[in-house]
A and B are shown apart, each in its own frame.
Chain A
């Protein structure tokens, strides 16, 4: 755990508040359609921040020393890639194993590790996802096409504005000869939220 204590009532940045004020007023007045806005913002999903989460995961797969550093101090290990921003502070990496599957929930854009993953998908922000992920994670995972063995423990992590979680998915089988770059292509956004698995080589 971190040595620092962080107040959970940390204020939102001024710019975020101004954008929220504009968006909520314009929506209430019927001047912008929130659904159209969501669709538009969804198209920028991969256009925000450096989004180097897949590279972080691939390095952890090939480099045990890096993986150790990543699990001990994710913020510093991610910064080794040279894209440390104030938004990627206090990252915690959760390792999926044959026995434990981690998944992450939060409804707030600001609680999403967008610096490594880009913008959150619309479903991630929806309250049904958050509520159901906590009550019935196995059911939610099945809807995402992830069927886990009964024995696998599922841990659901609630992101906060101060701690953002990144899931380290299991390295897929049949990837022994692959280099870091090729491995990074197998790491999907969903696998780093914990609602998917990393892809198989040559698979879809």
Chain B
């Protein structure tokens, strides 16, 4: 059993009285992926909290206004770094795959599911 994911250990997570809230679907996906990777034991919650804090801190140092709308941008950047550090998937792999999705999306007629390997 891995220890549970304590959301209160995370800096300034956007929440209401019922739990986390998301402005857009990709944010919920990034959130769920992080919880699932942690549950599978690929990193500890403490490691995750530290990476997220570091990312937010660095953004603030760069002058991020930190009004909450950029929170999940930092979340996504922290997750990309952590999975690379843990050797789960490299930055280069992510970049290549991102380009492939971009190409696939551009070549998919509207209304059809976007799949890799088209076009």
Residues of A within 8 A of B (CB): 8-9, 11-13, 15-26, 29, 31-33, 36-37, 40-41, 44, 47-49, 85, 87, 106-111, 114, 119, 127, 130, 158-162
Within residues 26 to 68 of chain B, which ones have a CB less than 8 A from any CB in chain A? 26-33, 35-37, 39-40, 42
* Contact A20/B101 with A37-B32, A41-B32 known, Cβ cut-off 8 Å: yes
Q: Are B37 and A21 in contact (CB under 8 A)?
A: no
Given A9-B106, A22-B89, A40-B36, decide whether A111 and B25 contact each other with a Cβ distance below 8 A.
Answer: no
Flag if A119 contacts B25 (CB, 8 Å). yes
Could you mark each residue 67-83 of chain B with 1 if its beta carbon is under 8 Å from any beta carbon of chain A, else 0?
A: 00000110010011001
9 contacts between A and B (CB under 8 A): A12-B101, A15-B24, A22-B83, A25-B89, A31-B89, A40-B35, A87-B24, A110-B25, A158-B111
Q: How many residues of B contact A (CB 8 A)?
A: 48
Could you say which of A16, A25, A36, A161 contacts B26, with CB atoms under 8 Å apart? A16
Do B111 and A159 touch across chains, with their CB atoms under 8 A apart? yes
Chain A residues, CB < 8 A from B105? 11-12, 17
Contact at B20–A41, with CB atoms within 8 Å?
Answer: no
- The residue of chain A having its C-beta at the shortest distance from the C-beta of B73 within the complex is A15
